[in-house]
Structure 1
Amino acid sequence: MSQINISTKKPNWPHVVSFLGLTFGLTWLVDLVLYLNGGLKNPATMLLLQFQMLLPAFSAMFLGVFFFKESRLYHRTNQSISRWFVYFYFLLTFFYLIGAIAALTQPDKAANLSSLLLIPSVFGLVLLIVLRIVGGKDTFSSIGMAGGKARIWLFYGLGLIAYYGLQTFLNYFFKMGQVVDITTAFPQMADANLPAAALLPIMALNTIIIGPFLGLIIAFGEEYGWRGYLQTELIHIGRIRGIFLLGVIWGIWHWPIIWMGYNFPGQPVLGSLAMVALGIIFAYFFAYSVLKSQGVWTAAYLHALNNQTLSFFFMAVVAPYNVLFSFGAGLPGLALGLVVVLILLRDPVWKTAE
């Protein structure tokens, strides 16, 4: 019988509370501003949601650089070249703040502002690569921002695509969704004068292959906060228990936009509970990818891929009739996700002491 190793180190609870207070405070303030300006109907919605995805990383970095003296990011001790990426992330968050304010005051320019903000995001990717080349292998691993193993990116990414492909088929098979007429749903693509048979593959290439890399810096905002910082603290109470707690916290963090109708329109109560369940399931999946690859950027890539793949399959292939009662983010999808988690929990990696 294998023995589960128990960590003798405990989470730094004052630091954890500070991180959660800052992250929730900033995020829910953004959500309140969105609610007071028309909610999800406001054209600035997507830009504000992208902005709030940056806030967990911003909070962890801000506290780590200026207040947590034990942090590997602390400004008096971290003199590695990696610190320039951290400072860039502060600047990126500021750019998105300005963009969000501008979009709220000039809603007709929201789409253009969102596109414009792709420029600093792409610059962030370039900066990341340059710093890694100049600084060497340990440039980011020394501060808890390792890239992870390429094969994990590939195989787990393919697994995630297959996971949503299966759920799309199940929605179709059990008549929980309707096949999408892509020329009607996306008339802008039909206007490109391309053969109808080519539209879906082109959209798949754009959303599943290219999209995750364009969204990588934004997804890192959540993943460094939740996986890079908070997971590192909470797994000291045990990996399985710590990740469960993280999943609950992560799900609750989304509640204000769920109450406004995001993901589960018209279901504020059941939608909130479903979001917590979804948070727990994906907390285990993303945690598993980080533990196996030893890199938080793996989770950032999978997070970006998850968002893009979910959108592609359920908006361009088979659209669910009722999100809450269909495969994907709904109850049947949660049941399938639970099965995946139970399989992942059989891996010995969960028994390792911190």
Structure 2
Amino acid sequence: MKQFENKNQSMMKAVRQHKFGGPEVLSYEDAPIPEINPGEVLVRVKAIGMNPPDWYLRDGYKMLPPEWQPEVSFPVILGTDISGVVEAVADDVTDFSIGDEVYSMVRFPSYGPSRAYAEYVTVPASEVALKPAGIDHIQAAAAPMSLLTAWQYLIEVGHNEQNPLQANKHQPIELHNKTVVVNGAGGGVGHLAVQLAKWKGARVIAIASGKHQDLLMDLGADEFIDYTKTNAEDILRDIDLVIDTVGGPLTGRFLKTLKPGGSLFPVFPLGFSGAEEAEKLGVSVSATQVRSSGQQLSELASLLNDGTIRMVIDSTFPLFDARKAHERVNLGNIQGKIVLTVE
């Protein structure tokens, strides 16, 4: 193994929890630096992007059916999205070297031994990509899960894992000259879906609260609907695609906005109960689950590097203040992404 300079260092700082609960269960404490295995790199973390699975795990996956709730062994470290510097590489890894600046979504959706809310994390080399040189570690850490989600829903799935909630494999649709609605457009996945759809030549209608209007129009939206003032489903018709980044039981309200042959992509499909209505209307409902992909992150790096895709940062917190970052989550109406920084 090619290793970092301080070979005697065995401990790091990490945010761990020893039970499920609210932000108060997060504890900034000492933890062992994870051991590197074949096929992996060890990354010294500079920034950590926060995502909904972080608070789902923190709470104990209460939003999932009991049979889907994974076994968790405490203490547990949250998080998947990181940007940092390679500190060590396994002997069989040839694509990365010590000192490389990289970003990654680590081991999602599996539950691995090394997670993101820490000073060091091990990552399978297949899930790592060189950090785009044109953005900083904060922006890079904000990208992986949200950008891969938008990409795998809208552009290219890139994996063969079947969504257990549907019989058919998810297929993105051709976006050029289509009318695409993005619900929850101000959030992490939403603001990226707006940009990707526009990049592919779609007419984009963004739905969010009024505070996001100027940002979303600046990111390329052609039209904006403030959901606090207008029920979008009452005024929209003949839409080709709705990507609902909020999803859940209410996502079916968008079915009547679609033209025959149109599609609804709920990013959070649990609770959808409109299959019969969709069939009667001649529209399709499809979802996938994001998977880690270093290859796709490498492809996306060029879009981040040249500014085609812009990451919007809601707020940043130092790693030791992860509890406050999760309290910010509870306030809602997040614009873009929340990022933890590692000094």
* TM score, norm. by length of structure 2: 0.23
The one of the two structures with greater contact order (alpha-carbon pairs below 8 A, sep at least 6) is 1
